[in-house]
Amino acid sequence: MKLLNKTIVLTGGTSGIGRQLVEQLVGDNQLIVLGRDAEKLSTLKKQWPSIITFQVDLADVNQVHLIAQSIASAKTEIDLLINNAAAQFMPKFTDEAFTFDTVKKEVDTNFTSVCALIHGLLPALLASESSRVININSALGLVPKASSAVYCATKGALNIFSQSLRYQLEGSVVGVQQAFLPLVDTAMTKGRGKNKISSDAAAAEIIAGIEKGEDDFDIGATRFLRVLNALAPFAARKLLKAS
């Protein structure tokens, strides 16, 4: 699929990887961007007036579903849904800084909202000649680490959900893809990890993977992790545990 003259719904398009996806796709496509920060969405709209924006907190899944249905009604054909936004809370359950309220927010933002968007947009995705759902996943969806247990769980759930949804949509015009990212240099990862790839490089590789049509494609060091996990899972677990 060449990403040219497509109608694309994107979450988390105001910063990080999402912002880079906007910059690399906006010139040739109609973008519909969902984000939480109204001011950042306004700035995005001023820079690229063709972009359609919706302000919504992805943790508010009922509102997300309503907006998805509204988009599907206004745009009878959607070519791509890119589920990019995510939230990550670092404290362990044993840390004093851990608060239980973050569990629901993380699950709803990273997983339930994805389900809401796909279901709400499905009529428009099915009306397209050829459409895709692209779920931006993480190496932590393959092998978890000690911190961010809920984040790891949501990414693992997203992996299994994507595979099952692919079965459900088999034979339809809707394909389901996943991009598995290594540590990317964004605001969310500030002060953590080494050898990060840039957000613009990650966005470029995501676009390349979409256009190649690969079901599940690995970016950067995730390619090595997948091989290691297949050959020596104990070594992969040890490597990621303290990452």
pLDDT greater at residue 241 or residue 33? 33
Please give the average per-residue pLDDT across 26-34, as a whole number.
Answer: 97
Evaluate if residue 10 carries a pLDDT over 60.
yes
String of DSSP letters for the chain: ---SS-EEEEESTTSHHHHHHHHHHTTTSEEEEEES-HHHHHHHHHH-TT-EEEE--TT-HHHHHHHHHHHHHHSS---EEEE---------TTSTT--THHHHHHHIIIIIHHHHHHHHHHHHHHHSSSEEEEEEEEGGGTS--SS-HHHHHHHHHHHHHHHHHHHHTTTSSEEEEEEEE--EESGGGTT--SSPEEHHHHHHHHHHHHHHT-SEEE-TTHHHHHHHHHH-HHHHHHHHHT-
Q: pTM, whole model, 2 decimals?
A: 0.94
| pLDDT for residue 196 | 74
- pLDDT tens-digit readout, 222-237: 999 999 999 999 999 9
pLDDT band at 184 (very low <50, low <70, confident <90, very high): confident
pLDDT band at 199 (very low <50, low <70, confident <90, very high): confident
| pLDDT for residue 242 | 79
Evaluate if residue 191 carries a pLDDT over 70.
no
| pLDDT for residue 193 | 58
- pLDDT tens-digit readout, 127-182: 999 999 999 999 999 999 998 999 999 999 999 999 999 999 999 999 999 999 99
pLDDT band at 76 (very low <50, low <70, confident <90, very high): confident
pLDDT band at 39 (very low <50, low <70, confident <90, very high): very high
User: What percent of the chain is modeled with pLDDT above 90?
Assistant: 89
CATH number of 7-241: 3.40.50.720
Segments making up each domain of the chain, as ranges: 7-241
| pLDDT for residue 190 | 60
| pLDDT for residue 192 | 60
- pLDDT tens-digit readout, 78-93: 999 999 999 999 899 9
